[in-house]
Amino acid sequence: MLLYSEFMHTRSHCRKSGDKCSIPEPIMADARAIVITNKIPNLPLETFSGQPTDDIEAFLERFKLIKGIYGWKDLDARSYFIGLLAGPAKNFYFSNKEKLDVIEGFDAFLKEFEKHLPSTTSDPNNALFNRRKLDTETITGYFYDVTRLCQRADPAMSEATQIQHILKGLGFQML
């Protein structure tokens, strides 16, 4: 197995001297893939369950961003998307699989999928009122999500009101 440092040394030597590179093409292709892969950030993808506390718009926005960064083709993106579904969202997909699978294009697929899920942007006040910290959720993640919902519900909301919403959703977990 050719080490990455040996590959880079041999490759730069071949370029400088004009010699034909002696690294076999399959190994060179693997090494190029390593170089390219290392430049892509490792972006975590969270699952989406379709619960009222989940934000479909935020999930789709992040998914589309990561799709673009990794350069996924539509068919691959659809497979990854389906793999990230959990709970009611996963149940919805599998109960409507035949109808959803015939939709051409990933964007059209997402629009159809999104139509059938509750939206937090359609009524951010309701989402904010019902928002509670989940047991599996970090305090930081909860804080930023409630702050974002506060801004959607009322861009001029005072910090005191935002803190009330944050504390309301924590219940007795922090008190």
Pair 102, 65 in one domain: yes
Residue whose structure tokens are 């990933």: 106
Number of continuous H segments (helices) and E segments (strands) in the chain = 10, 0
Asked if residue 145 and residue 111 are part of one domain, the reply reads no
- Furthest CA-CA distance within the chain: 71
pLDDT reading at 97 higher than 50: yes
Question: What is the C-alpha to C-alpha distance for residues 129 and 146, in angstroms, rounded to an integer?
Answer: 10
**98 and 79 share a domain?**
yes
Q: Which of 115, 137, 161 is the last residue of a domain?
A: 115
Residue 10 CB neighbour total at 10 angstroms: 17
Do 72 and 110 share a domain, yes or no? yes
In this structure, the answer to whether residues 106 and 128 fall within a common structural domain is no
Tell whether 140 is covered by a domain.
yes
Q: State how many domains the chain has.
A: 3
Token pair of 125, please?
């006040």
In a domain, 82, yes or no: yes
- Pair (35, 64) in one structural domain: no
Q: Range of 150's domain?
A: 124-170
- Does residue 103 lie in a domain region? yes
pLDDT in tens, 102-161: 999 999 998 888 877 655 455 677 777 778 887 777 888 788 888 888 888 889 999 999
Residue 141 within any structural domain of the chain: yes
- DSSP string covering 5-61: HHHHHHHHHHHHH-PPP-S-HHHHHHHHHHHHHHHS-------B---TTS-HHHHHH
Q: Are residues 108 and 62 in the same domain?
A: yes
pLDDT digits (tens, 9 = 90+) for 21-75: 554 444 444 444 444 444 445 667 788 887 766 778 788 888 998 898 888 899 8
Q: What is the pTM of this model?
A: 0.50
Both 106 and 129 in one domain: the answer is no
Closest C-alpha among 113, 100, 99, 25 to residue 64 = 113
